[in-house]
A = this chain, B = another copy of it.
């Protein structure tokens, strides 16, 4: 059999353009990697009030969202096709409620000592927290919108510390 790299007349190679692959990180050094992601969810103020008073029929919204976020961080390599499996050593999730604007701010952090970074894990955790908030409150509010999700900070690896903040981040009250 001709190797897949040697074409002949009757062969058509398909690998040229698409070349989807899980990037080779075999030679990379293991270093401490950290990442922080943020997501912002807009709800109707009365929905936020129900969450704060723990009166949403499905249960404690933020507690469920927090656990969903942690489990989603661990599930990232099964969810995002080209992500490398990696040994997460920490996942944290915190929430801040901005009552007057009707906003929930989600911040997640992830950590590992490995050859690749954990920013996708942190971002997946933050967005799944937002999806869980949607799921738990959708019976009383069909306007819930994930307004913004991004990686705010990552460190470790060859690029060192990278920080980012979208222009429109700060909602003026």
Known: A4-B105, A32-B26, A105-B4. A166 touches B150 (CB 8 A): no
Mark each residue of chain A from 8 to 45: 1 if its CB lies under 8 Å from any CB of chain B, else 0. 00111111011111111110000010000011001000
30 A/B residue pairs, CB under 8 Å, sorted by A: A4-B94, A7-B96, A10-B100, A10-B101, A10-B173, A12-B52, A14-B62, A17-B60, A18-B59, A18-B62, A20-B58, A20-B59, A22-B73, A22-B91, A22-B92, A23-B57, A59-B82, A64-B67, A68-B80, A74-B77, A74-B78, A84-B87, A84-B89, A120-B135, A123-B134, A127-B131, A127-B149, A130-B149, A138-B151, A147-B148
CB distance from A76 to the nearest CB of B (A): 8
Report how far A10 CA is from B172 CA in the complex, Å: 13
A146 on the B face (CB < 8 A): yes
Most chain B CB neighbours (cut-off 10 Å) among A38, A73, A82: A82
Interface residues in A121-165 (C-beta closer than 8 Å to B): 123-124, 127-128, 130-132, 134-136, 138, 142-151, 154, 162, 164
B residues in contact with A74, CB < 8 Å: 77-78, 85
In whole angstroms, what is the CA distance A130 to B64 when docked?
Answer: 18
B80 touches A132 (CB 8 A): yes
Give the chain B neighbours of A50 by CB distance below 8 A.
none
Which 3 pairs between the two chains have the least Cβ-Cβ distance?
A20-B59, A24-B90, A15-B94
Given contacts A145-B150, A169-B1, contact A81 B64 (CB under 8 A): yes
